[in-house]
Structure 1
Amino acid sequence: MDEVKSAATIAEVERELRYISGIIKQKGREILKNYPITTPQFIALQWLLEDGDLTIGEVSNKINLAFSTTTDLIDRMEKNLLVERKRDTKDRRVVRIHLLDKGKDIIQEVIEKRQDYLEDVLEDVSTDRVDVLYDILQLLHNQMKIDKEKNSNV
């Protein structure tokens, strides 16, 4: 059995993750100032890039916004030619949100700039330590997915 993890250590891990998340969000907002999209639009576009075409309901769930708010968000993105609504090929009643090239280009540029920032921050950290960091983050993410799946089946 693993040794018991101290509450203090868990608290420190949570605090560090919160600080890191805050810094990344702030840096992301700074980068987005140079683009014609808002933070919620960026998050929605990112999901569309990663998961492909989604319904408004699916986008709404992924970005944790009300359905009506997400509809307004999609309307604005469609007006700016970032996305388009398309009928599902298997079920014509279903409308999916499709990422257009302009939206894809913006997302890829922003993500690239975020990666450049992270590369600069980690410049003086050895490759081995960055690899260990990646392994630990991947482990944490996988454990969180397992927990989410377990709790969604309850």
Structure 2
Amino acid sequence: MSTSIESLLREICFRVKVKGREVLKEFPITPAQFDLMQKLYFNGEQTMTDLSKILGIAKSTTTGLVSRLEIDGFVERKRREKDKRVITVKLTKKGEEVIDKVILKRIEFVEEALKDFDESSKEKLKELLSLFNESLKKYR
């Protein structure tokens, strides 16, 4: 049972992800850069070190991703006032707009797929997914 649930979740997540990333064709953003932008969008301003850890990539790779995104105006870097050695990165308004467009595309895709469901089924699906999500939080 767990195997089939994992497989279904993986397939669903992949389909939603691919549909949302269609928006990225409008921008000079790679999937790796987009992943970094998403982390900033949902977690707020981060240090370079924290971004590297969150993404599971080398700090030098993170620096390359951030540099390109900064040149294109999607993120900005700044040194901390208290400790000038620490550099933080945050999403710009332009970067937020990209993420917002991707999320909207995903929502539209899910809405389209849910047209085949009656309201009761939609509520039950939401309830079950919420329960499952809460259960997963125990195992961080």
Shorter-chain TM band:
0.7 to 0.9
2:111 matched residue in structure 1 = 119
In the aligned structure 2, how far is the partner of 1:60 from the partner of 1:129?
A: 40
Unaligned 5+ segments in structure 1 are: 1-8, 149-154
Q: CA deviation at 1:97?
A: 0.3
Unaligned 5+ segments in structure 2 are: none
Do 1:85 and 1:98's aligned partners in 2 also have CA atoms closer than 8 Å? yes
RMSD: 1.8
Give the aligned length: 140
1:30 matched residue in structure 2 = 22
Q: Of residues 4, 10, 34 in structure 2, which corresponds to 1:42?
A: 34
In the aligned structure 2, how far is the partner of 1:85 from the partner of 1:106?
A: 18
Q: CA deviation at 1:67?
A: 1.8
Secondary structure of residue in 1 paired with 2:138: helix
Determine what percentage of the aligned residue pairs are the same residue. Answer: 38
Matched, 1:133 2:125: yes
1:55 matched residue in structure 2 = 47
Secondary structure of residue in 2 paired with 1:49: helix
Q: CA deviation at 1:116?
A: 0.9
When structure 1 is superposed on structure 2, of 19-28 and 103-112 the one drifting more is 19-28
2:70 matched residue in structure 1 = 78
Name the TM-score, length of structure 1 as normaliser.
0.80
1:151 matched residue in structure 2 = none
Per-residue CA deviation, residues 15-54 of structure 1 (Å, 9 max, x unaligned), is 1112112222322333322222111222211111111100
Secondary structure of residue in 2 paired with 1:85: strand
Q: CA deviation at 1:89?
A: 4.4
2:91 matched residue in structure 1 = 99
2:8 matched residue in structure 1 = 16
Do 2:40 and 2:91's aligned partners in 1 also have CA atoms closer than 8 Å? yes
In the aligned structure 1, how far is the partner of 2:31 from the partner of 2:61?
A: 14
1:143 to 1:66, Cα distance in 2 relative to 1, 3 A: farther
1:5 matched residue in structure 2 = none
In the aligned structure 2, how far is the partner of 1:114 from the partner of 1:96?
A: 29
More relative contact order, 1 or 2 (CA 8 Å, 6+ apart): 2
